[in-house]
Amino acid sequence: MKIQMNSRKISSAKTLPILRRATRQVEVGSIAVGGDAPVSVQTMTKTDTRDVEATLSQIRAAASVGCDIVRIAVIDADACKALKKIVKQADMPVVADIHFDHKLAISALKAGVAGLRINPGNIGSVKKVEEIVNIARERSVPIRIGVNSGSLEKDILESDGGPTAAGLVESALRHVRILEDLDYREIKISVKSSDVLMTVNAYRLLSEKCDYPLHLGVTEAGTFLAGTVRSSVAMGSLLLDGIGDTIRVSLTDTPEKEVRVGLEMLRCLGLREGATHVISCPTCGRIAVDVRSVACEVEERLEKYYAENPKAAQPHVAVMGCMVNGPGEARGADIALAGGDGKFALYLRGNHLKSVKESEAIDALMEEVRKYRD
Ligand code: SF4
């Protein structure tokens, strides 16, 4: 396996260009992962897969906020039947998440999935893996090897005295060798731990050992706040190192929130273009308007507007609480609201446009966004 480091400069950030590590490229349906493809954002549905409508509704919600790829747990033959219907109606590539059962993997491939997450070493025999690989090859479906600290092989755990970064990498490479021996290289890899430092170390080590595209994630990251912080620290560090081709933020929350956090992470690093960019003040004793509600609603309405109008100009928007710092910040944004006594001043490119009642501020801002041209 060949290592190529830091050969691509793709970040749009002016002050801190990120040099992404060169990786092979695989196609997950219509989404390219690795190579010069943008870092994609994934999520996983949390419904019973057999409930087609509930699962599709989560997929649509994730799509509405910009998700690129969705993964679905396939636990039995009924889930596989449902998968066929889901794949047909989903508006993004679907990856089947399967453990141990090669028959399910084959049925999922036949149901038309764009990707498979399965660990070849857990399938039971090389013959069974070969059956999967033959169909995956025929259909150009990549396989993700997904190693987690909670499911490492016994011998690795014994020799390392428990889960370690090196153990995660060793396990992943064992699975990789099985596929390579079958001459299959449409591979992505993840080495997730619930421990942030172990996750970072594992991916760093793995990125030195192979050039397969890497799927980043922290497993069992936690609820919204804890999971967002832990995922941002781990994946942010790796992405800054140029490591990572696709990401999934795991939260004990909705797929939609996972996608929003993932996208925001990429935007912060200049790895994702065309995004909602709202700054808002933390508020203090000077506010006389409800900045928190206004900022949250502006963010939601912009997400929706840009999802429905992907070609629309995307100005920088600011929502500030008062006339002390508000106008200064407003001048740095394309469109801004600065709060006063029960009303907001609306600014366009730093110029005061008009004052609007608090209740009309969001509509007035959205009207300026719709009219905005770069
Ligand atoms: Fe406080 Fe005004 Fe600054 Fe907001 S902009 S934190 S309200 S001083």
Evaluate: CB of 286 within 6 angstroms of ligand 1. Answer: yes
| Ligand 1 site-directed mutation target among 279, 290, 292, 320, most atoms within 8 Å of CB | 320
Alpha helices (runs of H) in the chain, residue ranges in sequence order:
52-64, 77-89, 102-110, 126-138, 154-160, 165-181, 196-209, 224-240, 255-268, 291-308, 326-332, 361-371
Q: How far is the CA of 339 from the centre of ligand 1 (A)?
A: 9
Evaluate: CB of 328 within 6 angstroms of ligand 1. Answer: no
Evaluate: CB of 336 within 6 angstroms of ligand 1. Answer: no
Q: Measuring CA to CA, how many Å separate 290 from each of 56, 118, 278?
A: 35, 48, 16
Rounded average pLDDT over 173-194: 96
Q: Measuring CA to CA, how many Å separate 187 from each of 11, 53, 167, 173, 215?
A: 25, 31, 19, 11, 10
221-225, 271-275, 361-365: which is most confident? 361-365
Confidence of residue 185 (pLDDT cuts 50, 70, 90): very high
Contact 186, 142 (CB under 8 A): yes
Q: Is the dihedral of CA 238, 240, 241, 242 positive or negative?
A: positive
pLDDT for the residue numbered 268 = 87
pLDDT for the residue numbered 5 = 35
Evaluate: CB of 318 within 6 angstroms of ligand 1. Answer: no
Q: Which residue has the higher pLDDT, 206 or 264?
A: 206
Q: How far apart are CA 145 and CA 176, in angstroms?
A: 7
Which of 45-49, 331-335, 337-341, 346-350 is the least confident region?
331-335
pLDDT for the residue numbered 230 = 96
311 Cβ contact partners less than 8 Å away, ≥ 6 residues apart: none
pLDDT for the residue numbered 270 = 87
User: What is the per-residue pLDDT across 20-62, written as a single tens digit (0 to 9) for each?
Assistant: 999 999 999 999 999 999 999 999 999 999 999 999 999 999 9
Q: How far apart are CA 149 and CA 197, in angstroms?
A: 12
Q: How far is the CA of 294 from the centre of ligand 1 (A)?
A: 14
User: What is the per-residue pLDDT across 212-268, written as a single tens digit (0 to 9) for each?
Assistant: 999 999 988 789 999 999 999 999 999 999 999 999 999 999 999 999 999 999 988
Helix (H) or strand (E) holding 188, with range, is strand 187-192
Evaluate: CB of 225 within 6 angstroms of ligand 1. Answer: no
| Ligand 1 site-directed mutation target among 280, 283, 329, most atoms within 8 Å of CB | 283
Mark 165-178 as b/e (b = at least 16 C-beta within 10 Å): bbbbbbbbbbbbeb
pLDDT above 90 (res 162) = yes
pLDDT for the residue numbered 15 = 57
Evaluate: CB of 122 within 6 angstroms of ligand 1. Answer: no
Q: How far is the CA of 129 from the centre of ligand 1 (A)?
A: 60
Evaluate: CB of 338 within 6 angstroms of ligand 1. Answer: no
Confidence of residue 276 (pLDDT cuts 50, 70, 90): low
Say whether 125 sits in a helix, a strand or coil.
coil
pLDDT for the residue numbered 7 = 39
Residue 25, beta-bridge partner list: 34
- Residue entry with tokens 């008062």: 322
Q: How far is the CA of 280 from the centre of ligand 1 (A)?
A: 9
pLDDT for the residue numbered 150 = 87
Nearest CA to ligand 1 atom 2: 322
Evaluate: CB of 282 within 6 angstroms of ligand 1. Answer: yes
pTM listed for this prediction: 0.87
Evaluate: CB of 281 within 6 angstroms of ligand 1. Answer: yes
What percentage of the chain carries pLDDT values higher than 70?
A: 95
| Ligand 1 site-directed mutation target among 280, 289, 291, 322, most atoms within 8 Å of CB | 322
Q: How far is the CA of 295 from the centre of ligand 1 (A)?
A: 13
Q: How far apart are CA 250 and CA 127, in angstroms?
A: 33
Q: How far apart are CA 147 and CA 119, in angstroms?
A: 8
Contact 286, 306 (CB under 8 A): no
User: What is the per-residue pLDDT across 67-112, written as a single tens digit (0 to 9) for each?
Assistant: 999 999 999 999 999 999 999 999 999 999 999 899 999 999 999 9
Mean pLDDT, the chain, integer: 91
Which tokens belong to 270? 């200049």
**Per-residue 3-state assignment (H helix, E strand, C coil) for 215-226:** EECCCCCCCHHH
Q: Measuring CA to CA, how many Å separate 189 from each of 137, 195, 262, 281, 289?
A: 17, 18, 18, 39, 48
Question: Residue 172: what residue type?
Answer: A
Which of 180-184, 287-291, 308-312 is the least confident region?
308-312
Which of 5-9, 203-207, 295-299, 322-326 is the least confident region?
5-9
Q: How far is the CA of 347 from the centre of ligand 1 (A)?
A: 16
Q: How far apart are CA 336 and CA 280, in angstroms?
A: 10
pLDDT for the residue numbered 242 = 97
Evaluate: CB of 325 within 6 angstroms of ligand 1. Answer: yes
Q: What angle do CA 186, 27, 16 make, to 5 degrees?
A: 105
pLDDT for the residue numbered 272 = 85
